[in-house]
A and B are shown apart, each in its own frame.
Chain A
Amino acid sequence: MATSAITTTVRTRRRTSSGTGGKSAALFLTPFFAVFAVAMVAPVVYSIVLSFYSQQKSGLGFGEAKTTFVGIENYLQVLASESFVGGIVRLLVYCIIYIPAMVGAAVVFALLLDAGVARARKLFQLLVFLPHAVPGVIAALIWSYLYTPGISPLVQALASGGIQINFLDAHWVLPSIVNIGVWEWTGYNVIILFTALQAVPREVLEAARVDGASEIRLSLSIKFPLILPALSVIMLFTIIGTLQLFTEPTIIGKATSAVTSTWVPNMWAYDAAFIRHNLNQAAAASIIIAALAAILSLAVTRFNSRMNKA
């Protein structure tokens, strides 16, 4: 309703004034900002408000609950929760393994594809990207099957080769989940990097070749520095995406007790909201996660801009 009203006003104004770039931009941007306000800004504001209140019951709790303003109490409770802090630490460990593995693999694949080492380039491009086309839930289910001892042909093959490994025990489950992430997201990032590589000026490459650079030298000294901006975009997306980690551990958690219902911060927030019915605490936890994402993004952007200037 509000959207159409705004649009109408904008339209009327456009007719009366001489058409400028700003006006038509407003016309096209209004629907976006309207939806953005309703679907993004409003929930965020509501969450912030929620996070400062608490549903307080009294006695046995079978009466009406009172909503009281508690200030930063919810934040303190979340940060004092051993499982929440444990989840953040776990996520950091996850990042330390996941980001180098995934980004490293993506860079190598992209450089290989661009160097033309792979003969059937189109085919390999497709094969590399294919895992990303599998929805996250399905991917987690497939891997959960591949990890389960007694069922998995993978575990069986390793066992017959003399390697006894339980991918789902408390020691291995984190690397196992990292593996799912790498499998899913490498292909996607290869495409981004490959596109960036296509934009590298051919004359620069020609000049290097004339100077006698080998393909490997070309990749490392010319192409790699030139795709650093794309790489920084990837880092940004990856860090934000990692903080959102939820699907894979949730699905794997059905198969092993090593993944608890509060394993990572997002699962903690879900558990607080929908299992323990404490929406206020869940709101506080979500704001903390969002703040972390903001701080990390800022750090990555700062670091990158300094790198690019240097």
Chain B
Amino acid sequence: MKRRTLLIGAAGLFGSGMLMAACGAEPTPASSPKPTTVPTGTLTFWSALAGMDKVAAAFNASQSNIKVTFETIPDGSNGGYAKLSTAITAGNGPDVATIEYPQLPQFVSNGQVQALDGLIDNAATVDQLSQEIRALVQFGGKTYALPYDAAPLIMWYRKDMLDKAGVSVPTTWEEFEAAGRKLKAVAPDSYLASFNPNEVAVTAALAWQAGGKWFGTAGDSWKVGVNDAATQKVADYWQKLIDDKIVKVEQAFSDEWSLDMANGTVVGVLGANWSATGIQKRTQASGQQGQWIAAVVPNWGRPAGSFYGGSSFNITKSSKNPAAAAKFIEFLTTDPAAITARGNTGSAFLAFPSLTPVAQKAYDASYFGNDIYSVFNKAYASVTPGWQWGPNWDITNTAFKDAYGKLSTGGTVRAAVDSAQQATVSGLKQTGLSVSQ
């Protein structure tokens, strides 16, 4: 009992950074006053994204009808979703929440977020988005979120180490493996990248890129294909890289991972556009300025890509003022002022067209050795359409993590994929959903 209280106390410590957004007093004229009644009132907004306090402040300063109170919450891996979900169930959740794409269907399925149809201006928001992005926020013909970023899977390398190994940036997975072997030849203790058991979303992104489809619907039932042929191919490939010590198995964002990057043990990161800040933070002190480059992820022969991470904004069931909340999330996801206000917090790549150049201007990418945004654009253009997240991502996520825990004692990636498939199917059936394999 005592141990648990302590942990919750610590979680509260991280979460209690109640940042009250400054309320701008001067009433700036609204951009285009509409004849319909303008929503007014106060809203609460929860997010784990850096710089969102400034965005909320900018919104408050831009108009006088709606006042947003911002609160930082822990990110998903630190209990953010547990907090959000519990708060919504208890009826004291925020008006506006931040939910990543894999978790969104779960919140929709649990009835914890409101459908946005009728609240938002569809023509000016969702209809402007690409098909791949729209598929992540629309379910059963209704829109449940406005997408913030569209985060393409990106491979980051130490250019100097690739040069040392005498290889150019790999474009296919075959070349990637060969590059890893050449690196081993010149630097036996180095790894080309790491395999992160705690980031199942990367496994999903790799399967997605290879043409896998973990979730789909057929009529009134879910089709689950976590161990489909494409995913099996990916699993066997990474198992080979792990066995041959081309990639190192370690938890992403752990101290070990940071240290390996700083001291050059691991010279690549399989991440996304948003990895830039993390890489800079971990390697700057070891004089790696200008050595890191972004690259389109190697493929299986044809250009293909996927998303890794990315968040959407939602109106929760707890919201008493959905009309005002809708105005706010429109601002968050489509207004250039929202992007500028966030400042130099990260290399964002946004879902709404024409906003990415604004983010690019706000971000200082001088640390990197190439034009990272042109790489992002190329990666974004090749994202494979047709991917859908399942109704309860965390059943799959937990099953994967459990199986990945056995990687150091004879477990394989392939076995993990198979057990995750089985756990997903039985887990979904237990909640009464109709599942076909």
Contact = CB atoms under 8 A, between A and B. Distances in A.
Interface of A: 54-62, 64-66, 77, 83, 135-137, 144-145, 148-151, 169-171, 241, 244-248, 250, 254-263, 266, 271, 274-278, 281
A136 B251 contact: no
A135 B406 CA distance: 30
Given A60-B217, A247-B3, A255-B256, 6 more contacts: A60-B434, A136-B2, A257-B401, A257-B408, A258-B408, A276-B427
The interface residues of chain A, by DSSP majority, are classed as loop
22 contacts: A54-B431, A59-B433, A60-B220, A60-B222, A61-B391, A77-B430, A136-B7, A137-B7, A150-B263, A245-B3, A247-B6, A250-B7, A254-B198, A254-B254, A257-B198, A257-B250, A257-B401, A260-B402, A262-B402, A274-B86, A275-B394, A276-B394
Interface in B190-239: 197-198, 217, 220-222
Contacts of A281: 430
Interface string B10-44: 10000000000000000000000000000000000
Nearest to A281: B430
- Interface centre among B139, B395, B398, B405, by most chain A C-beta atoms within 10 angstroms, is B405
Contacts of B7: 136-137, 246-247, 250
Nearest to B249: A257
Contacts of B251: 254-257
B254 A148 contact: yes
Contacts of A148: 254-256
Given A255-B251, A259-B405, A244 B1 contact: yes
A60 B431 contact: no
A197 B32 CA distance: 81
B405 A170 contact: yes
A286 B396 CA distance: 22
Given A60-B434, A65-B110, A171-B409, A150 B392 contact: no
A233 B110 CA distance: 45
A58 B434 contact: yes
Interface residues of B, number: 56
Contact of A151 (B9, B111, B259): B259
Please give me the 3 A-B residue pairs with the lowest Cβ-Cβ distance, nearest first. Answer: A274-B82, A257-B197, A56-B432
A128 B137 CA distance: 56
Given A244-B4, A257-B197, A276-B394, A57 B408 contact: no
A171 B408 CA distance: 9
B6 A136 contact: yes
A221 to B, nearest CB: 36
A55 B89 CA distance: 14
Given A60-B140, A246-B4, A255-B255, A170 B110 contact: no
A183 B95 CA distance: 45
B3 A246 contact: yes
Contacts of A64: 111
B299 interface: no
Contacts of B75: none
A127 to B, nearest CB: 23
A261 B402 contact: yes
A179 B217 CA distance: 49
